[in-house]
Amino acid sequence: MANEWIGVIHTTAPKYLSGAADNTIRKRLILSLLKQKGRIRFNENSYECNWDVEFKEQPVEAYGDGGTLNFSRHDLYRQLNIDWRGYKATDLMTEKERLMNDGALAIVRRYDKIMPKLMRSLNNKFCAELFIDGYASGNENRLHGLNSFTGTGTTVAADRIAKPSDTYGGKSTEVGDQGGTWSTNLSGATNIPNASIATDWPDGNGDPEYDYLSPKLVNWSSSSWGTSSQTWEENCERVLRQTTIWNSIGAGAEGKPDLYLMAGNLFYAYLNKMSGKQRIVVPHKGAQDLGFDDVLNQEGVMLQTDFDVASNTAYGLNVDQMELASLDNVLFASRGPEYDIKTDSWLFMVGFFGNGRYNPKYFAKISNFAT
């Protein structure tokens, strides 16, 4: 019986976990998009997680026939680095319990309860971690999620965008941290996106290095949206449209968000706004093809609510500019069952080692940053 017990678990657990991980991905739009675009990486290595982001471009000079060209090397990249993080879910079955449930059918029933519950626990925890600030106190072993680079500086009620002020991957997210200039053609509190920054950014234009690591932190409660309101329901359509434009201005089509993930209260208010305007909410075809029929479409960008997004908050995600990296050859790995003679028990464990990687410039957080 013992041989059958070990054999059943060892041969079934890896197959089950593979299927369960695939099922997890299919149930979460962000994970489905990451898989579809090949942004889930396996077999990562090294003692820390490093990647490069482009912060500058080679200079382009006007040239006339017979002129002299200047050739030199250019430092175009900055390297970001974070450490690896991990999650574990465990269970055990005592030897006494195994003996009391002797028999192949009883063992299979017990096993069928342990593994799904372990995976369900890891799944529920893991998807929520995609939004975590991995630098915050107490989060030293948790993922570097989206809130790891969305810290803000001086922001007042009239600002339509909050001032980026954070450190991510060892580099500052503040505009102008690596030099460069930006246009200053706008004037007036209702036109300048952020009074503290005091340039046209993210409107206007400037050098790539000026905002190479700066996310768009959009203040939906601003008094400057032109609606005479500071509520999400009145401002939401303009906020989402402006965020899409701001993310696309500096990077063209590749900068356009794929998805806005919203808290439930924001999604509800958005639907009310569309209903009040006699708008027909149109499903997003790309999301439907992935099996998500409840995803809406505004100007080519997916809109969906997500349980793990904090109230009054939404995120604009560019899937091509993020990766989920696993140190293992699977997303969630299993260990055991292993017999522990000290407790006379069989030990089970599923877990993840890895982290998320982002290029903050291509992401947005939408919230009531100044209320």
Q: Which residues pair with 54 in a beta bridge?
A: 77
Does the residue 247 lie in any domain? yes
Does the residue 83 lie in any domain? no
Specify whether 246 is located in the same domain as 304. yes
pTM over 0.85: yes
Task: Give the number of residues written for the chain.
Answer: 371
Cβ contacts of 107 within 8 Å, gap of 6 or more: 4, 5, 8, 98, 101
Predicted confidence (pLDDT) per residue in 225-244, tens digit: 999 999 999 999 999 999 99
Question: Which SS3 state, helix, strand or coil, does residue 234 take?
Answer: helix
Predicted confidence (pLDDT) per residue in 35-79, tens digit: 889 999 999 988 888 888 888 888 888 888 888 888 888 888 899
N-terminal to C-terminal alpha carbon distance within the chain: 65
Confidence of residue 100 (pLDDT cuts 50, 70, 90): confident
CB under 8 A, 24+ apart: contacts of 144-148: 144/82, 144/85, 144/168, 144/355, 144/356, 144/358, 145/356, 146/315, 146/317, 146/358, 146/363, 146/365, 147/365, 148/358
Rg (CA), the chain: 25
Specify whether 220 is located in the same domain as 122. no
Residue 224 is part of which domain span? 146-323+359-367
Predicted confidence (pLDDT) per residue in 356-365, tens digit: 999 999 999 9
Q: Tokens 């080679």 sit at which residue?
A: 58
Decide: 43 and 13 in contact? Cβ < 8 Å: no
Residue-level pLDDT at 3: 47
Specify whether 196 is located in the same domain as 270. yes
Does the residue 77 lie in any domain? no
Specify whether 253 is located in the same domain as 167. yes
Predicted confidence (pLDDT) per residue in 283-297, tens digit: 576 666 556 667 888
Specify whether 318 is located in the same domain as 339. no
Decide: 81 and 49 in contact? Cβ < 8 Å: yes
111 compared with 252, residue with greater pLDDT: 252
Specify whether 102 is located in the same domain as 243. no
Decide: 322 and 39 in contact? Cβ < 8 Å: yes
Specify whether 312 is located in the same domain as 350. no
Specify whether 340 is located in the same domain as 231. no
Specify whether 311 is located in the same domain as 218. yes
Does the residue 302 lie in any domain? yes
Distance separating alpha carbons of residues 298 and 342, to the nearest angstrom:
59
Helices (H), the chain: 2-27, 29-36, 95-100, 104-129, 232-249, 264-276, 285-289
Does the residue 341 lie in any domain? yes
Specify whether 169 is located in the same domain as 283. yes
pLDDT greater than 70 at residue 257? yes
Instruction: Flag the least confident range among 144-153, 272-281, 341-350.
Output: 272-281
Confidence of residue 2 (pLDDT cuts 50, 70, 90): very low
Predicted confidence (pLDDT) per residue in 169-189, tens digit: 999 999 999 999 999 999 776
Structural domains counted in the chain:
2
Distance separating alpha carbons of residues 329 and 332, to the nearest angstrom:
9
Does the residue 74 lie in any domain? no
Specify whether 307 is located in the same domain as 336. no
Instruction: Flag the least confident range among 99-103, 114-118, 193-197, 261-265.
Output: 99-103
Confidence of residue 1 (pLDDT cuts 50, 70, 90): very low
Specify whether 194 is located in the same domain as 94. no
